Structure 1
């Protein structure tokens, strides 16, 4: 990494340990932040093409919480699930197994693609006292304000899967394309923060196992959204949404909030789909307020 991490000093004060657990025939690698004795544990599920590092700026704002942050199957250090297509059912099975084995009773948090997986798992019965969705995918990606770019992305991932292996892998890991994705999502005008965001994507956005896993996950990300699960979730839900999100417009997030039986929507101004990088402090403040009534013994 070449850009300074503006959250490094805060992160340095939080204990962290790398851990492994065998689930569904593969080893899941995850990181435990904070004290095991913390009153509240959060199970954090990252977004598409990302891995656990992406949520660290939010973790940095929550030093008194215990956060368990796994790399999803096929991304980061977690290997793909053997014999499985990496579709929504596979990710839901994996998250449910992870929660039962490592984080029973944890509050579940999902960012972006992770919001789809987290919401679907909770709707299917994953036991949790509360659900937090950051930059939730609240409408089909093709209906977003950048629907044309989404169609280009569909072609890009299709080409990456269909080209000869070496050419397809090179296309999907192309640094110029990764940078273009990063530039399109970043909204901050702070040059140092923009450099950090781009450096994060340069460093971690191509840490997927292979092109088949990436293609499966992409198809899943554009074929589903949180609306499918919303009405089936009885737990309290916090939606942390961006007013300038190009993936799900804020109007759609407001509609999504009304679908849940018990939901609170917090809107953050002047940020897009990168709340976790650009505005982690307001997001963490919303999370802290949402989880404050913990002395009732439910978390």
Structure 2
């Protein structure tokens, strides 16, 4: 990373500890933010192609929480199991076992693809007192307003999987394509924040173990959505949605909220699919109110 975070001062105040745990036959790397004696622990699941750094900006505004942020298997510093298919069932089982190993009974949070993984796991029996979904994927990606772009992405990932390994991996890690993705998602007019977003994607968006893991995760991300699991989730759920999200329109998010037995929806204006980068303070405020946590004094 070469562009400093706009939230660097807050992040520096957070204690951070890196750990590893074996889950389903491979080591999962995870980072624990915040005080060890915090009253509330949250497990935060990042989105597609990302890793744990992506949610740090939100955590910077929640210093009173203990947050455990793993890298998904096959991304960042978490190893995959060779030959295993990483479909949604596998990621759901991984999250359930990870939570049991490091923080049973923690609040579960998921962003984007992480919202699908978290919802699937909770619907399948992962015990949590509350569920938080940031930029939840509320409808099939191929049916959204950017369905044409999603189909192009399908072709891109298919080509990356079919080319000879060296060429295919190079295509999937191509910096120009990553930058185009980043530009398409960013909505802010703040130049510093835009530079930070692009640098985050340049630095972390290609840290996948191999193209097979990336292909599996992509297929899982476009073949599933939170609406499949909403009715089966019986814990209080918070949806933090963007009014300019190109992946799941706000009208779909409003309808999605009605499918849960107990859900509340917080809408954030003038932002798209990058709430965690562009409006982290607003997201943190919604989370704090949902968890009924008093505002912490600046340290």
The normalised TM-score by structure 2 is 0.97
Asked whether 1:38 is paired with 2:49, we answer no
CA contact 1:243–1:269 (8 Å) conserved in 2: yes
Deviations 1:128-170 (A, max 9, x none): 0000000000001011111110000000000000000010000
CA contact 1:26–1:82 (8 Å) conserved in 2: no
Secondary structure at the counterpart of residue 27 of structure 1 = strand
What is the CA-CA distance between 1:84 and the residue it aligns to?
2.0
**Aligned residues, how many?**
294
CA contact 1:20–1:27 (8 Å) conserved in 2: yes
Secondary structure at the counterpart of residue 27 of structure 2 = strand
Aligned to 1:233: 233
Deviations 1:214-272 (A, max 9, x none): 00000000000000100000100000000000000000000100000000000000000
Root-mean-square deviation (CA, aligned residues, Å) is 0.9
Secondary structure at the counterpart of residue 258 of structure 2 = helix
Measured in 1, the distance between the counterparts of 2:87 and 2:4 equals 35
Aligned to 2:284: 284
Measured in 1, the distance between the counterparts of 2:59 and 2:187 equals 21
Aligned to 1:48: 48
1:6-155 residue pairs with structure 2 within 5 A?
Answer: 6-155=6-155
What is the CA-CA distance between 1:81 and the residue it aligns to?
2.9
The normalised TM-score by structure 1 is 0.97
Secondary structure at the counterpart of residue 259 of structure 1 = coil
In structure 2, stretches of 5+ residues that fail to align are 295-299
Secondary structure at the counterpart of residue 264 of structure 1 = strand
Secondary structure at the counterpart of residue 199 of structure 1 = helix
Measured in 1, the distance between the counterparts of 2:240 and 2:170 equals 35
Deviations 1:1-39 (A, max 9, x none): 221211111010010000000111100000000111100
What is the CA-CA distance between 1:83 and the residue it aligns to?
4.2
Asked whether 1:204 is paired with 2:204, we answer yes
Deviations 1:162-218 (A, max 9, x none): 000010000000000000000000000001100000000000000000000000000
Asked whether 1:3 is paired with 2:10, we answer no
Secondary structure at the counterpart of residue 277 of structure 1 = helix
Deviations 1:48-83 (A, max 9, x none): 000000000001000000000000000000001344
Distance 1:228 1:183, change over 3 A: same
Measured in 2, the distance between the counterparts of 1:136 and 1:103 equals 23
* Runs of 4+ that moved beyond 4 A: none
In structure 1, stretches of 5+ residues that fail to align are 295-299
Aligned to 1:297: none
